[in-house]
Amino acid sequence: MAPPMFESRHSARASHLPHRPKRVIIASTLAVLIALLIAGLFANILVTAASTTGGTLRTDIWHLVRMTSIQAGLTTVLSIAIGIALAWALNRLRFFGRDLVIGVFAAAIVTPGIVVAFGMLSIWGRSGWINSATTYLFGESIGNLAFGLWGIIFAHLILDATFAARILLERLDAIPAARLKIGQSLGLSPWQRFTIIDWPAIRGSVPGLAAVIFLLAFTSFPIVLLLGGGPANQTLEVAIFAAVRQQFDLLGAVHLALVQILVCSLVILAAAARPPVPISTGVSTGQNWHDRGPARLLQWGVLGLGIAGFLLPLLAVIFDGVVADLADVLTRPTFWRAATTSVVIGLSSAALTLILALGLGLGRAASARRTLRLGLGLPVFAYLAVPAVVLSLGFFLSVRNLGIAPAEAAPIVVIIANALLALPFASATLGPPLEGLVQNKAKLIRSLGLNSWQQLRYIELPLLRREVGVVLALAFCFSFGDLGVIALFGTQDFQTLPLMMYRALGSYRSDDAAVIAALLLVATILAFIALPRLFERLLDARS
């Protein structure tokens, strides 16, 4: 899960804020509840681990941390580099379908990892598109490039480099027109233009973005599970899953989890002073000052490669899904049950995420005390570092230790766990504009004498309708594509589409997996694009 970074301090928060003690109380209660929940989950794992035999702690943790760091480091560096190149090209070029490409890039962050891994196999596997093409053209296969370290990194790049490109493009688009005009009149070369105008505009976003990408890659689960090729390439997250699911080594799992929390916390703290990275879904205006000559050629080249590298695997997913027996899967009751489960869980956890993010964010914005504000921000971050698999395990054991069969509690637990996992992103998107709004509208609110509810109803929700929609879409898509939480709780009776797809892959039903992958992909992108708009319109009509 990626971290929203701490937003910068408003040092002199004036006492002119509307007095909202209830908001602060609600937020504090939520924060304490989340903290207690996480502490309780850990306690349950530790208690269970202490009471079970076995638990050999044989995993070579340092080797694992080293390998995971190398993988995440390479992913981060390459993602930022490719992201900058793509943003640069997109900022300069105008072409038919540009909006669509940018829209799809924005959706990369929510594309289910299992779908991307599947697309990678279709394209880069030994009998994938690339090898079929080279065998046909040159009579030679280039082998399977989808498995192993580079397969993992490539799959991560598909998600993270495009995510970076979308964020950085926003920074480039925000460069004031006056600045561009001066640059143009000075006759800057493309390189000078990049170093003098572009780089200063994106420089500030790079550390925060790098931290997000590092954490995403460091905690990656489905991609590593599918493309890692077994024990040789693991993340801590997958190793924890293996410790629990394959060795029943709970103590080992706890140790691995603590190491992961430590590493992630260090990254979060290092990046904490940086501005947060909100998710962009808006329209890109681009610039009218075009580069010429080789630079323009290079831009087309970058864009072409980027689109091919990113879109080919996803197109392959859709193609394979359509070619496979679509009707056969669509007429199966299990498919519809899994689809319904996925949607209900997605919507529920999206609603819960919004409530939590609003509850915490409103309280935080309403409080003037620095320590309190920090305290209200912490649960969000604490959660960020906790591996999804560990969270899921904690829930599993807690429920079991209460004497309830995990299957009975599964739906509720999966909803809560997914909501908590989406919370960091939600807070990063909702927090800063909430703060800004309270600052800017404080006078208006006080002069109108609005109460807390009216303030929410008439000021905050209408003005933040876009962000609210984005939060819902993000949380829905994360939960819709989740495999880390459901992997432990899923049963034959209770499964989501990603789990159904993972199982199909594990039992020769490649065709079923292909169909589910295609539907997951299309549904995720549609939801991500449609939900914010739908919400914007809904709240617009109300106010």
Partner 1 sequence: MARAPALTTGLHPRFHDRNPGPDGPRERDDPMIKSIPLALAVLAGAATAATAQETPNLTIYTYDAFAADWGPGPQLKEGFEAQCDCIVEFIAADSSIGALRRVQLEGDTTDADLIVGLDTAIAGEARQTGLFAEHQLDLDGLSLPETWTDPTFVPFDYSHFAFVYDEDVVSEPPQSFEELIDRPESFKIAIQDPRSATPGLGLVLWIKAAYGDDAAEIWEGLAPHVLTVTSDWSESYALFLDGEADMVLSYTTSPAYHVFDEDDHSIHAAMFEEGHLAQIEVAGVLESSPNKALAREFLDYLASPGAQAVIPTTNWMFPVVDLESELDPSFSDLQQPSSTLSIAGEEITANRDAWIDEMLNALN
Site for partner 1 in 251-310 (CB under 8 A): none
Residue type, 292: R
Query: CB-wise, 191 or 248, nearer to partner 1?
Result: 248
345 belongs to the binding site for partner 1 (CB under 8 A)? yes
Residues in binding contact with partner 1, number by CB under 8 A: 72
Residue linked to tokens 């049950």: 337
Q: Which two tokens stand for residue 87?
A: 């943003």
Site for partner 1 in 65-94 (CB under 8 A): 67
Q: How far is the CB of 383 from partner 1 (least distance, A)?
A: 23
Asked whether position 133 contacts partner 1 by CB under 8 A, the answer is: no
Q: Residue 324 corresponds to which amino acid?
A: A
The span of 92-100, 244-252, 428-436, 439-447 binding partner 1 (CB under 8 A) equals 244-252
Q: Which stretch binds partner 1 (CB under 8 A): 77-85, 170-178, 213-221, 246-254?
A: 246-254
Neighbours of 541 (CB within 10 A): 7
Contacts 24+ apart (CB under 8 A), 45-51: 45/250, 45/253, 45/254, 45/257, 45/390, 45/393, 45/394, 45/397, 46/254, 47/401, 48/250, 48/397, 48/401, 49/250, 49/251, 49/253, 49/254, 50/251
400 in contact with partner 1 (CB under 8 A):
yes
Among 40, 176, 231, 282, binds partner 1 (CB under 8 A): 231
Q: How far is the CB of 506 from partner 1 (least distance, A)?
A: 5
Touching partner 1, residues 359-398 (CB under 8 A): 396-397
Contacts of 211 (CB under 8 A, 6+ apart): 3, 5, 267, 268, 270, 271, 274
Which C-beta is closer to partner 1: that of 22 or that of 503?
503
Q: Does 150 bind partner 1 (CB under 8 A)?
A: no
Among 404, 444, 526, 530, contact with partner 1 (rule: CB under 8 A): 404
Q: How far is the CB of 458 from partner 1 (least distance, A)?
A: 34
Residues 452-511 that bind partner 1 (CB under 8 A): 488, 491-494, 503, 505-511
- Which of 13, 98, 332, 441 lies at the binding interface for partner 1 (CB under 8 A)? 332
CB burial of 288-315 (b: ≥16 within 10 Å; e: otherwise) equals eeebeeebeeebeebbeebbebbbbbbb
Specify whether the CB–CB gap between 498 and 76 falls below 8 A.
no
147 binds partner 1 (CB under 8 A): yes
Per the structure block, which two tokens stand in for 67?
């390998």
C-beta closer to partner 1: residue 159 or 409? 409
Quick check: 117 binds partner 1 (CB under 8 A)?
no
Q: How far apart are CA 529 and CA 482, in angstroms?
A: 19
Minimum distance, C-beta of residue 214 to partner 1, in the bound complex (Å): 22
